[in-house]
C-alpha cells in the first residue's frame, strides 16, 4: 500500500481539495452533506463511549463490566527510546455494541495517555525509532491499564470532548489532505474493529472489496478522518439499514494528553444514575427480580443519554439467529420480540428436546421463514446443529447473539419464575451454575456475525437492529 500523497500541486483548484473529487460524481455540497452524516454517526458512537467512561469514573463498581478494555491478539505494541508506548486497545461497551478501537501513546511513567486514533486505523502512525515490545511486557502493561481504567477514560474524554467536538462544531467543510489510496484487502492486514479482530475483508459485517481510502480534514482543525469508498457499492448514506458508502473507518486526532477532571456533566451523570437506581419497583414486579430490571433500564438510559441506539442495525438481513446464553439470560424475551416481527421461534422449553427443535427449524426454513433458536446453545456442537440445517435449506446469513447476563442475575431470574416448564424448584440454581461452567461463547468461524448483548429490558430495540428488513 503506498502512503498518502500530498496534493499541494493541485491546491490552486478548490475542487481538487474535495474528497474523492475524481471518483464520486456528485455536486460537492451533496457529497459534503453525505460525508457529514457519516461523521455524525461515528460522532454519536464516540460520544456514547466517552459518556460511559464518565459513568465508570463516578461509579466504577457498577460500570466495570459494562466498560471493558483488552488487547488485540495480533496487534503488536511498540516501545520508543524515550519510554513512550504505542498500541491499540479494544473497548467493549453495552452502549456501542461493537466497541471502538483506540490507538494510544502512553508516557514512560504510565501517568499520561494520548488517544491518537478512534476506529479502524489501517495506516497507523508509529515513530521510526519504535521497536516491537516483548509479548510479556505488553501483556503486563495491558493488565495495569485494565486495573486502572481511569487513565484510558481520561484520554478518551479529552479526545472526544476537547478535540473532536470543537472540530465538528458548526458543521465543518471537509477537504482532502492527500491523494486517494488504491486499496486491496490482504490476508496479512488485520482490522481492529470494536470488540473483535477480523480479517480486513469482514469489517463492519460486510466484505471489503478492492476499494480506495482517502484522508480528509475538518477545515479549521487538525482532526482527520479516513474514508473508505467502494465504487461497486451504491451511494447509500441515507439508508441507515444498509452499508454506508463512502464510510468513515477512523478518526485521527492530534496528540493531546488526557487529564483527569471533574465537571458538572459528571455530576449530572451521577444524579441521573442514582435516580435510576433508586427508582422504586412497581407493585406488580417481583422483589427478587427488581434489581435485574433496574440494571437493564440503566443501560438503556445510558444509551439514550448518548443519543445512540443500543445496537447498530445489521447491514445484511439474517435468515437464522442463534441465541446463546445461560438460563435466565433473556433469550426468550428477545425471541418473543423477534416473533412479533414475523420470525419463527424454535423454543426447546416448549418443544421438549433438541430433535423436535431440529425438525421444527427445518420445517420453518421450508416455509421460507426466518428462524430464531431459543435455547442455551452453550457450546459449538450445539450451535452447529442449526447452521447445518440452514446450509441444507440453501444457506443464508447467520447471526449468533451471545447474551452476557451475569450468572447471579440469571439465578435471580430463574428463581423468580417458579412455574417455568423445564427449570424450576430448588435445583434450578445448580443447573444455571453448571451451564456457566460449560458455556463456550460463539466463535467467529461459526457464524457470519456475533452480537455480544449486555443485560437490557429493551428487547424490541434489539429485535429491530437484528431485523433490518422492516
What does residue 346 show for φ and ψ, rounded to 5 degrees? Answer: -105, 105
Q: Same domain, yes or no, for 239 and 346?
A: no
**Inside any domain, residue 300:** no
**Inside any domain, residue 290:** no
Q: How many CA atoms lie within 13 A of 41 on its CB side?
A: 22
Helix (H) or strand (E) holding 62: helix 60-63
CATH number for the domain harbouring residue 429: 3.40.50.300
Q: Same domain, yes or no, for 105 and 151?
A: yes
Render pLDDT for 123-181 as a digit per residue (tens, 0 to 9).
Answer: 677 888 889 998 889 988 988 888 888 889 889 989 998 899 999 888 889 999 888 88
Q: Same domain, yes or no, for 270 and 356?
A: no
First to last CA, the chain: 40
Among 224-233, 298-307, 451-460, where is mean pLDDT lowest?
Answer: 298-307
Q: Who wins on pLDDT, 92 or 276?
A: 92
Which of residues 275, 305, 335 is at a domain's end? 275
Q: Same domain, yes or no, for 22 and 143?
A: yes
Residue 238 has pLDDT above 90, yes or no: no
Share above pLDDT 90 across residues of the chain, in percent, rounded to a whole number: 13
Render pLDDT for 44-74 as a digit per residue (tens, 0 to 9).
Answer: 888 888 888 888 777 887 777 778 888 877 6
Which of residues 223, 248, 275 is at a domain's end? 275
pLDDT confidence of 264, banded at 50, 70, 90? very low
The pLDDT mean for the chain works out to 75
Q: Same domain, yes or no, for 271 and 358?
A: no
Q: How many CA atoms lie within 13 A of 178 on its CB side?
A: 16
Residue 172: what pLDDT?
Answer: 87
**For the chain, what is the domain count?**
2
Give the domain range for residue 354.
313-466
Q: Same domain, yes or no, for 269 and 361?
A: no
The pTM of this model reads 0.53
Render pLDDT for 71-109 as a digit per residue (tens, 0 to 9).
Answer: 877 678 999 888 899 988 888 776 666 678 889 999 888
Q: Same domain, yes or no, for 339 and 263?
A: no
Other C-beta atoms lying within 10 Å of the C-beta of residue 30: 11
**Inside any domain, residue 363:** yes
**Inside any domain, residue 295:** no
Strands 398-403 and 449-453: parallel
Amino acid at each position: 500500500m503506498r502512503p498518502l500523497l500530498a496534493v499541494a500541486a493541485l491546491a490552486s483548484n478548490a475542487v481538487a481539495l474535495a474528497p474523492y473529487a475524481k471518483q464520486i460524481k456528485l455536486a460537492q455540497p451533496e457529497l459534503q452533506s453525505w460525508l457529514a452524516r457519516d461523521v455524525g454517526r461515528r460522532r454519536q458512537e464516540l460520544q456514547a463511549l466517552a459518556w460511559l467512561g464518565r459513568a465508570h469514573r463516578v461509579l466504577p463498581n457498577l460500570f466495570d463490566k459494562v466498560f471493558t478494555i483488552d488487547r488485540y491478539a495480533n496487534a503488536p505494541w511498540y516501545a520508543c527510546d524515550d519510554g513512550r508506548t504505542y498500541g491499540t486497545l479494544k473497548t467493549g461497551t453495552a452502549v456501542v455494541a461493537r466497541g471502538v478501537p483506540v490507538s494510544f501513546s502512553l508516557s514512560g511513567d504510565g501517568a499520561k495517555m494520548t488517544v491518537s486514533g478512534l476506529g479502524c486505523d489501517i495506516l497507523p502512525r508509529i515513530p521510526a525509532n519504535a521497536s516491537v515490545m516483548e509479548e510479556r511486557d505488553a501483556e503486563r502493561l495491558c493488565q495495569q491499564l485494565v486495573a486502572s481504567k481511569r487513565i484510558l477514560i481520561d484520554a478518551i474524554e479529552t479526545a472526544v470532548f476537547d478535540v473532536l467536538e470543537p472540530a465538528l462544531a458548526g458543521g465543518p467543510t471537509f477537504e482532502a489532505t492527500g491523494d486517494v489510496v488504491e486499496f486491496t484487502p490482504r490476508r496479512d492486514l488485520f482490522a481492529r474493529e470494536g470488540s473483535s479482530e477480523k480479517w480486513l475483508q469482514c469489517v463492519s459485517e460486510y466484505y471489503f472489496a478492492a476499494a480506495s481510502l482517502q484522508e480528509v480534514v475538518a477545515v479549521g482543525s487538525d482532526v482527520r478522518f479516513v474514508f473508505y469508498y467502494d465504487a461497486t457499492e451504491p451511494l447509500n448514506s441515507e439508508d441507515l439499514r444498509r452499508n454506508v458508502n463512502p464510510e468513515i473507518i477512523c478518526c485521527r486526532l492530534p496528540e493531546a494528553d488526557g487529564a483527569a477532571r471533574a465537571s458538572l456533566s459528571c455530576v449530572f451523570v451521577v444524579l441521573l444514575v442514582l435516580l435510576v437506581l433508586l427508582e422504586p419497583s412497581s407493585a406488580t414486579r417481583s422483589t427478587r427480580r427488581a434489581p435485574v430490571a433496574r440494571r437493564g433500564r440503566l443501560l438503556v438510559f445510558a444509551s439514550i443519554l448518548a443519543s445512540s441506539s443500543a445496537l447498530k442495525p445489521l447491514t445484511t438481513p439474517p435468515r437464522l439467529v442463534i441465541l446463546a446464553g445461560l438460563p435466565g439470560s433473556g433469550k426468550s424475551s428477545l425471541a418473543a420480540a423477534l416473533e412479533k416481527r414475523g420470525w419463527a421461534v424454535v423454543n426447546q422449553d416448549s418443544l421438549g428436546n433438541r430433535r423436535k427443535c431440529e425438525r421444527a427449524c427445518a420445517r420453518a426454513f421450508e416455509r421460507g421463514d426466518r428462524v430464531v433458536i431459543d435455547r442455551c446453545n452453550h457450546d459449538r456442537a450445539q450451535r452447529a446443529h442449526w447452521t447445518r440445517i440452514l446450509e441444507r435449506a440453501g444457506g443464508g446469513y447467520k447471526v449468533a447473539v451471545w447474551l452476557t447476563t451475569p450468572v447471579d442475575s440469571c439465578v435471580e431470574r430463574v428463581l423468580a419464575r417458579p412455574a417455568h416448564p423445564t427449570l424450576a424448584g430448588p435445583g434450578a440454581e445448580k443447573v444455571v451454575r453448571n451451564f456457566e461452567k460449560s458455556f463456550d461463547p460463539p466463535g467467529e468461524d461459526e457464524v457470519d456475525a456475533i452480537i455480544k448483548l449486555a443485560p437490557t429490558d429493551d428487547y424490541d430495540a434489539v429485535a429491530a437492529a437484528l431485523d433490518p428488513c422492516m
